[in-house]
Structure 1
Amino acid sequence: MEKLILGLDPGLATLGFGLIKCIYNAKTKEIDSTSMVDFGVIKTTKKQEMGERLVTIYEDLHTILNTFKPDLAAIEKLFFYRMGNTILVAQARGVLVLVLAQHGIPLIEFSPPQIKQIITGYGNANKSDVQQAVARELDLDEIPKPDDAADALAVAIAASWLE
């Protein structure tokens, strides 16, 4: 069975996305292979009004979903840094959840420590360890850039292992 999984790393200025394809063994339900399909970021600027920034995220995510038609999406739960920043990211995250629901795509959510635990085996792993695990799991020659896209691929990989 083949499954296309979209990972999302929410953000208002830079929102990471990563798509992977997993082939699952029909008998054992374990992963036979995982490959990267695409990755990147949706960017907005501080010069844009808040509503305009959210519309950009809304439209760009619709384009990604219409282009790739993923079977499942996974998103990183909010991690509280600064209250002001968290509220802005929460608004962008709400747009993600809305668009996924409009497309009828099931959603799995992970906290940052859960993703680190699944990907590296250690819930307090550093960013470099997670990025190296992403490159290794997807058989990439280098770590995907920017970091937000690599983080989104980590979210997608975490979802693939729990399927």
Structure 2
Amino acid sequence: MASPRLRVLGIDPGLTRCGVGVVDVARDRSARLVHVDVIRSDPGLPIERRLAVIAAGIRAVLEEHTPDVVAVERVFAQHNRHSVMGTAQTSGIALLLAAEHGVPAATHTPTEVKAAVTGYGSADKLQVQTMVARVLRLDALPQPADAADALALALCHAWRGGAPEASQATSLTPAQRAWADAERVSRRERVARTNVRSGV
């Protein structure tokens, strides 16, 4: 039987540049790049048309790569109110499209993502890009930063327990059920090893 893997679509929301990245993550936390791109909208277009461009791009990725779960960067307060509005609108589009496609979604703060990928919640863009490239065994840093952030979101979600708990198992896809089962086995094995080392 093949090792269970979780396919995660990470979305770094933005109105001018929206990063999207799809990764397959195995039980041993190893990961493989499936797709990465940046969806761009023209700042000269009316807001509704810009959102439609972003929506079309996200919809195409959902339909082509059929992720098990979508991870979106959580919107947080910024000094630039205009910028945060565009980010919030794009985030809402991403969450709506996930729901329309029957794919569960989660949000993570930038600090959570940086800590999960680099071990340091205040890491800079270059550190995130470097670690994403290393984890995915890429020959070059993912560019632009929006693309790296989307991949980092996907990795963060998988590594922080990408499948819902067993109580929700009836609503899981086969891949998510396999992932959840593998995570439970892995946790039991870690506890057993710890008990052996501790002489329990």
TM-score between the two structures when normalised by the length of structure 1: 0.92
| Higher relative helix content | 2
Using the alignment, how far apart are the partners of 2:100 and 2:21 within structure 1?
Answer: 19
Structure with greater contact order relative to length (CA < 8 Å, sep ≥ 6): 1
Which residue number corresponds to residue 76 of structure 1?
A: 73
| Alignment RMSD | 1.1
- The answer to whether 1:61 aligns with 2:64 is no
Using the alignment, how far apart are the partners of 2:126 and 2:44 within structure 1?
Answer: 31
Contact 2:8 2:69 in 1 (8 A): yes
Determine helix, strand or coil for the equivalent of 1:37: strand
AA aligned to 2:71 is: A
- Say which one has the larger Rg: 2
Contact 2:17 2:40 in 1 (8 A): yes
| Higher relative strand content | 1
> Could you tell me how far 1:57 is from its partner in structure 2?
1.3
What pairs with 1:31-50 in structure 2 (closer than 5 Å)?
31=29, 33-50=30-47
Task: Name which of 3, 6, 9 aligns with 2:9.
Answer: 6
> Could you tell me how far 1:79 is from its partner in structure 2?
3.0
Using the alignment, how far apart are the partners of 1:101 and 1:88 within structure 2?
Answer: 20
Contact 2:20 2:58 in 1 (8 A): no
Using the alignment, how far apart are the partners of 1:108 and 1:137 within structure 2?
Answer: 22
AA aligned to 1:130 is: V
Identity, % of aligned positions: 36
Which residue number corresponds to residue 162 of structure 1?
A: 160
Which residue number corresponds to residue 103 of structure 1?
A: 101
Which residue number corresponds to residue 27 of structure 1?
A: none
Contact 2:15 2:87 in 1 (8 A): yes
> Could you tell me how far 1:23 is from its partner in structure 2?
2.1
Using the alignment, how far apart are the partners of 1:71 and 1:116 within structure 2?
Answer: 22
AA aligned to 2:103 is: I
AA aligned to 2:151 is: L
> Could you tell me how far 1:80 is from its partner in structure 2?
2.5
User: Could you give the per-residue CA deviations for residues 3-26 of structure 1, whole angstroms, max 9, x where no partner exists?
Assistant: 2110010000000000101122xx
Contact 2:25 2:155 in 1 (8 A): no
* Structure 1 segments unaligned to the other structure (5+ residues): 25-29
